[in-house]
Chains A and B, each alone.
Chain A
Amino acid sequence: MTYKLCLFSIISLLASQSHASLESGFVSISPLSPPDDWDLVFTLNTLDGGAVVLNDNIPGFYSASNGTVSFGFQWFLTNDGQAIDPAFISSSDPFANNFNGTYKEAFAPIVADEPFLWAYWLDADFDTVITPGDYLGWAEFVYTSGDLTVLQSVADTSGQGIFAGTTTVVPESKFYAILAGSLVAIFSIIRRRRSRIQYI
């Protein structure tokens, strides 16, 4: 009975991560000096801060020039409805990547007064791979009168991802099905072995 309860708890945990895993409102912009630079900052209560230095030093374009080196992060261009999931992260080219120190100049044109989305991955547990607890999300910005501001931001922390511009979590992937199946198998083996020992 004990083992059944443990197994049930783990499956419940996986299920809960699939649904109730959204956080919002932790991405901010701070003005830097000179005035045309911005600091794109994550201000999380439960996680370290992190920042990307953005600027418009190349007229008409956003550029990234540096970032903090606490937890890892990557930022990407994205569009409404894009699934920001492990597959997207691994196949896309970030404009800011503090894992390898890549920060791109002129990575996107500046269009005034038209809100747009960027996607991000925050490696919250410092393990350099996407795992539950990391932040996969998007933020909406607008550039008005020389200032870049954040309109909203949402992240999924289940590891599954989120659709850009929405609060919809990407459906559970095969990875979690396999993980859950593996755990079932492991617990079954453990239980069987311990059962044998009891008989001896």
Chain B
Amino acid sequence: MCKYLILLLVISGACTATAQEPGRPNDSLNIEYSEPVEGYELSWWGQSGRTYFIRYSEDLKDWFYVPFIEYVLPQEQDRAITWVAHMTDASIVEGVYVWLPDILNPPALYDLFYNDLNEDRFFMQLVLVDSASVDPLGDDFDGDGHSNMIEVSLGADPLNRYADEDAAVSIDKRLVDADSNVALDLFTTMDHVNATYIRNPDCWIADIDTTCISPWNSQGGASRAGTLISPRHIIFAAHHPIAVGTTIRFVDSNNNVVERTMIAKEDHPDYVTDGQNNDIAIGILDQDVPSSIGFAKVLPDSLIQYFEDNVGLPLILLDQFEQVTVANLGTSLTSEFLDNAIPEALSVRNQFYRAKVIGDSGNPSFIIVNNELVVLSVLRLGGVGAGSSIHAKRNDINTMMSSLGGNYQLTEISLSSYIDIN
């Protein structure tokens, strides 16, 4: 974001000598060199009640939003809006697309907009919304639960609701406002002996229902993690099993403890012969948990209609200390085995990354969709973490749940409110 601040100086309301004027197409979008500021001025005629976004592209296919929003409130008069871009050379194509060939400097501009120095152009587009919004920054034009400003700040599309962007923004926006010194722990108090738990109000996902996560069981204590996938079924790692007869503990959002006994379990039928891709076990509890305890949903059959190649998507990884850590997805969401990756150094995500160690096996990984936890895998390998894909094994898991009884199947998260990318 700092790069943008260097490159694009916003001068809202300044009436300069550029070509903006009312009544021309695309709100008179124009760009030309300005001697006084030694930069290129991007200007247009801002009309009352309109909100403006700028996006850019190198190929006219992939578009990225500049993290600024310009607007003229309904009660305000029309006015010129001018941005100054410090670029050293350009020619002007007036209209929807602005073509800036032969950009020589500064290098930061290349870093920002160019992956290939042989490329000699990029395109900028003015996108306007005529909604008469009185809070264009805080409003949520695409209805995905994230404000326009948060979306453009995090590189998301504020006008179209994409599932993968929602999943990324849902994590990133929470991390930006969180302090890893106090926000990692799901609980501030975890007294396993006396069954006393107090949820951490500063946890970075404190506003999400995490009651499906079991902090303790009578066999492994804090290890041998289990996660509810129905009111009656838990999922865990076959290689780090929970024995039949074990008490599984859950904590509702008001810190009330709920305990159930696991009365039967099944390993994935192929676990023995192929441990890596089928390291999944399902257990059934002696009775349903109450409605105050939730369960994790799973990705649906229609996943590929809504998610592209999502390498790099941020995900949540729990550990034996019930720390809510973060890693990046290292493989496609459709892979049978989900391998993770360490978030980029110095990134906010990296502040919440923790390597997985002995005792963490079986802990779940999640993404957030529609403000709900969606379980992706249970931890098999340490370090950055990896585990069998629950989505890939959903049919097998449903078969196992049927075999165990309880009359429940996996619950798929609905993605129908998102744009079908196909």
Interface residues of chain A, those whose CB is within 8 Å of chain B, are 30-33, 39, 41, 43, 48-51, 53, 66-72, 98-99, 101, 126, 128
Contact = CB atoms under 8 A, between A and B. Distances in A.
* Shortest 10 CB-CB contacts between residues of A and residues of B: A49-B239, A69-B382, A70-B240, A70-B361, A66-B381, A69-B360, A69-B361, A32-B276, A72-B358, A39-B276
Contact of A101 (B240, B359, B383): B383
B361 A101 contact: no
A48 B241 contact: yes
Nearest to A52: B381
B80 interface: no
A108 to B, nearest CB: 21
A41 B359 CA distance: 17
A102 to B, nearest CB: 10
Contacts of A48: 239-241
B358 A53 contact: no
Main secondary structure of the interface of B (DSSP, over half): loop
B381 A43 contact: no
From B274, B356, B359, B380, name the one whose CB has the most chain A CB atoms within 10 angstroms. Answer: B380
Contact of B355 (A70, A101, A128): A101
Given A70-B239, A70-B358, 8 more contacts: A30-B276, A43-B272, A49-B239, A51-B239, A51-B275, A68-B381, A98-B357, A99-B357
Interface in B255-303: 272-277
A68 B272 contact: no
A69 B359 contact: yes
Contacts of A66: 381-383, 386
Contact of B359 (A39, A50, A126): A126
Contacts of A99: 357-358
B357 A69 contact: yes
Nearest to A53: B381
Interface in B356-409: 356-362, 379-383, 386
Contacts of A50: 239
B235 interface: no
Given A49-B238, A50-B239, A67 B382 contact: yes
A43 to B, nearest CB: 7
A66 B340 CA distance: 12
